[in-house]
Amino acid sequence: MHEPAATLFAVSMGRKMTSVQILAIAIITLMMVAFVWGLFRYDIVAVVAAVALIGALAFGVVPPDAAFSGFSDDIVIIVGSALLVSSAVARTGIMEVAIQRYAPDLAGVRSQLILLVVVVTILSAFVKNIGALAIMIPIAFQFARKSGTSPSVFLMPMAFGSLLGGLMTQIGTSPNIVVSRVREDLTGAPFTMFDFTPVGATLALVGTVFLVFFYWLVPIRTRASVDMHEALDAHYLAEARVVEGSAKDRRSTARASPIF
C-alpha cells in the first residue's frame, strides 16, 4: 500500500467516530434504505436529505462555510457539465436524424438491439451514461413500434451497455472520476483519459456480445396501459378566465370558443 494511503488508513482505524460522523452515516444509510425500499419517490427522498442538511446547518452541526463546499469540487463540475452536454445532444435530435438516414430499414429485433447497444456503449464512454440513455431511449421506442415488440426488450440491455461503456474512459462514469482524483491526491498524477480503456473496452466488448446473443434472458414487460402519444390524444378539461374589457367579454361560450 502506498505510504500516504497506509497512514490515512491507520489514522482512520485508530480514531473513534464523532457524533457528527455517526449522524452523517445514519442519514446516508436511511437514504439508501429509502431508495431500495421504493415506498417513497426518489426526488422526495433527496429533498428530505436536503432538508436534513439545512437543519444541520441551522443547528450548527455543519459550519456555514463547509455546508455547500462540495458543490465547488471539480468532480461535481465535471459531472454536471457532462450531463448538460448530454441533455443538449438529446434535445437536438441529431441521433434520431442519423438513425433514420443511415439505418432506416432496420426491422429485426436483433439488428435493432445491436445498433442500440453499440451506440449507447460508445456514447457512454464520452458522455454520462444517463445522458447516453436519454439520447437513445426515443429511438428505442421507435424501433419497438416498428418491430412490434415491447420496449423492455431494448431498455435493459441499453442500460447495461451504458454502464459498460462508461468503464472505458476517465469521464465515462463518476467512479472513474473519483478514483482519478484520489490517485492525484495520493501520487500527484491522476489517471489519464484512456488509462481505463484496455480493461474497460474488453469488458464492454464481452458484455455487448453477451447482450446481443442472450437478450432473451431480459424479462419482457407488456404494456398495461396506453402510451404517451395515445394519452395526449385524450380530451382534457381546461379553465380560462376572461378579464373585463377583453374582446371575448360578455360573449357566450360558443362565440368565445375560437379563442382556444
All structural domains of the chain with their residue ranges: 18-70, 73-250
What φ, ψ does residue 218 adopt, rounded to 5°? -70, 130
pLDDT at 83: 73
Q: pLDDT per residue over 224-236, tens digit each?
A: 554 545 444 444 5
Going by pLDDT thresholds of 50, 70 and 90, the confidence category of residue 162 is very high
pLDDT at 3: 46
Average pLDDT over residues 109-125: 90
For residue 63, give Cα distances in angstroms to 18, 52, 137, 176. 15, 14, 43, 30
Residue with cell 445522458: 131
Q: pLDDT per residue over 42-70, tens digit each?
A: 888 888 888 888 887 887 777 777 777 77
Choose the most confident range, by mean pLDDT, from 16-25, 161-170, 250-259.
161-170
Quick one: DSSP state of residue 167?
G
The answer to whether residues 96 and 137 touch, using CB atoms and an 8 Å cutoff, is no
Residue 111 confidence (pLDDT) above 50:
yes
Task: Count Cα neighbours of 59 within 13 Å in the Cβ-side half-sphere.
Answer: 7
Higher-scoring residue by pLDDT: 239, 76: 76
Average pLDDT over residues 20-24: 80
Q: What is the mean pLDDT of the chain?
A: 78
Higher-scoring residue by pLDDT: 108, 210: 210
pLDDT at 22: 84
Higher-scoring residue by pLDDT: 161, 103: 161
